[in-house]
Structures are given as C-alpha cells and as structure tokens.
C-alpha cells in the first residue's frame, strides 16, 4: 500500500525544512506544518489506517514525543491501545529501560513493565516521526521485545536515506517509511 504521486506531493509540501536547527549543518524536518494542515494530516492518518488495519495489532507504541501524535491517533483509528515509550525518568510506575549511544554519551528510553497488559507476545507497531541514525528506534524496538511484546514493524513518517538507520533497524524488525528523504 503506497501513496499516489499526488498524495506524496501533498505530504512533502506540508513538511517544512528548517536549516541549521538545532545546530549548524542539521536540516530539521518540521512536522508542525503538517499537523496544522487538516487535509495533509488527515490524508496521512487515513493512509496509515489503511495499511495497518490488516495487521491485527494489539498496540501502537509511540516514541517520545512526536511519535505520540501519530501513534495515539492511529491507535484510536484502529480501535486498540496506545503505549508511550518515554525518555528516562518520565514514567511514574515500574519501568523496563534500554540504553543507546548518542554522538557523545548515552541516552535511555523506558516503558512501563505492564504496558502490554499481560498479553503474551502482544503484536506492537512502533511509530515515530522520523528515523535518522535509527539509534532511538533500535532501542525502542528492543524495549518492546524485552517487556514481553513483539515489535512487528517500525513506522516512520520520514526516513533520512543518507543515513543507515533504516538498514540497521531491519535487523530487529520490519521497517515502513512514508516519505523517504535523499
């Protein structure tokens, strides 16, 4: 299930490039201009709904914070629960954690230990706005598996093809990217 060229153009035009944010040399992909465009946001969510309704998922898990926006909306459309994967120290109950390397140092993502409500090998779709190096999503996919779920696919609105994040992720799960950026 892929977008028509016209649909791709609507989505591409709705995402704004901000050069040199948050630091020189980075082109930040700003999805806020997609979210405030009802046609583009609706088109994207309908596309994701069409793709994932056949997957018989148990949960959608979104990565802190922009993954929540797409993940929670999609979970509602699919009639299933949403699970937040958060940066360290934000979740109030007992958590399972996974560390990952950054350019300098480490970061950590966490999930509640009972996030999948005790369902054995719950089928989980992981979602975030963008995959760059894939470090965050790799850790999040491992976290889902570590906490008793089965990460069946990682879905991104945008994928930076000049980095090898998507390739790296394919070792742990299937990958679907709506818009690929060369």
Q: How far is the CB of 157 from ligand AMP (least distance, A)?
A: 9
Interface of this chain with ligand AMP, residues 44 to 83, rule: CB under 6 A:
63, 66
C-alpha–C-alpha distance, residues 10 and 44, integer Å: 10
Q: Does 133 bind ligand AMP (CB under 6 A)?
A: yes
SS3 at position 115: coil
Nearer of residues 95 and 177 to ligand AMP, judged by Cβ: 177
Q: Does 129 bind ligand AMP (CB under 6 A)?
A: yes
Nearer of residues 90 and 121 to ligand AMP, judged by Cβ: 90
SS3 at position 149: strand
The residue from 71, 81, 159, 165 that contacts ligand AMP (CB under 6 A) is: 165
CA dihedral 145, 78, 166, 108 (to 10 degrees): -50
Q: Does 136 bind ligand AMP (CB under 6 A)?
A: yes
Q: Which of 67, 141, 69 is nearest to 100 (CA)?
A: 141
C-alpha–C-alpha distance, residues 39 and 92, integer Å: 36
Q: Does 159 bind ligand AMP (CB under 6 A)?
A: no
Binding residues (CB under 6 A) for ligand AMP: these are 26-29, 63, 66, 128-137, 165
């Amino acid at each position: 299930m892929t977008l028509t060229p016209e649909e791709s153009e609507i989505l591409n035009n709705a995402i704004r490039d901000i050069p040199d944010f948050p630091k020189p040399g980075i082109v930040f992909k700003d999805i806020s201009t997609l979210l405030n465009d009802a046609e583009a946001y609706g088109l994207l969510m309908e596309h994701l709904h069409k793709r994932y309704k056949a997957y018989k998922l148990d949960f959608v898990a979104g990565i802190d914070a922009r993954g929540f926006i797409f993940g929670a909306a999609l979970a509602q459309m699919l009639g299933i629960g949403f699970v937040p994967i958060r940066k360290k120290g934000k979740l109030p109950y007992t958590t399972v954690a996974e560390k990952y390397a950054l350019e300098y140092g480490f970061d950590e993502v966490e999930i509640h230990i009972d996030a999948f409500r005790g369902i054995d090998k719950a089928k989980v779709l992981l979602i975030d706005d963008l995959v760059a190096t894939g470090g965050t999503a790799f850790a999040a996919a491992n976290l889902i598996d570590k906490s008793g779920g089965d990460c069946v696919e990682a879905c991104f609105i945008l994928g930076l093809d000049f980095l090898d994040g998507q390739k790296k992720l394919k070792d742990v799960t299937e990958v679907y990217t709506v818009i690929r950026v060369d």
